[in-house]
Amino acid sequence: MKPLDALRRFTLAKLDEYRSGLPDAPADLRAYIAENLSDLAEAFGVTPEKLTESVAATTDDNLARCTLGSIDKARKAARESKGEARERQAQATADAVGAGAHWRGAEAELDLAQLLACCTGRDRVLVFACDAFTIAVPMARLLDWKSLRRSDAWAYVDARGVHLRWGAAGGLNFPALPQVPKPGDTLRCDGVRRAYAGAIRVALPAARSEVA
């Protein structure tokens, strides 16, 4: 069990004991934190000394409540940090997609595997931008495609949207949205409404420099 999960379980048990009139519950919680100081300090993102000081400065009446609150804050910070790292990776992949795009007339061929790796959520969009157009395509449509796992598929983008092709005549078209969404907008995709949560941008090379 992860340190914060174990601490939360122990804290809830001691909180119930304290509310039931057992006066030793806070001391038990302090002892638990001291025994697991190194692991808990790392999980909270503080030094062992800082954690020790914080526990010592908290009264028995507030110890369990403050501990639970600190656990919630640490979990939220960890989720946000993980999300930011995922966002940076997705944008780096999108940069590679754009750099590797190859124009054939009005269509830019894309690395499909990298393109799918850019998709981080159904409430987000991919924005493709070049000198000829700027369009937004919901990630939800591409995420649905990922489950099909066709090894012979390839992709291209044009002013109308993203297009997948495979075999002799197989294919799917993912139309662009009427406009690039803004913060606070609602995405409407395949009959589902979602609050818009952001975009990954694919900067395509200038079309005129790629046309033979």
* Tens of pLDDT, residues 66-117: 999 999 999 999 988 888 898 999 999 999 999 999 999 999 999 999 999 9
Co-location of 113 and 197 in the same domain:
yes
Q: Is the residue at 95 inside a domain? A: no
Which of 155, 172, 99 minimizes the C-alpha distance to 130? 99
Strand partners, 129: 134, 203
Co-location of 143 and 174 in the same domain:
yes
pTM greater than 0.85? no
Dig out the tokens for 11 from the structure. Answer: 């804290």
Domain coverage including residue 38 = 3-81
Last residue in a domain, options 51, 81, 111: 81
Q: Is the residue at 90 inside a domain? A: no
Co-location of 118 and 196 in the same domain:
yes
Mean of pLDDT values over 156-178? 91
Q: Is the residue at 142 inside a domain? A: yes
**Strand ranges of the sheet holding 154-158, from the earlier edge strand across to the other edge:** 102-104, 107-110, 154-158, 161-166, 170-175
DSSP structural state of residue 58: S
Q: Is the residue at 184 inside a domain? A: yes
Dig out the tokens for 140 from the structure. Answer: 């939800």
Co-location of 206 and 106 in the same domain:
yes
pLDDT tens per residue across span 116-134:
999 999 999 999 999 999 9
CB 114 within 8 A of CB 101: no
Q: How many structural domains does the chain have? A: 2
Q: How many CA atoms lie less than 13 Å away from 51 in the CB half-sphere?
A: 23
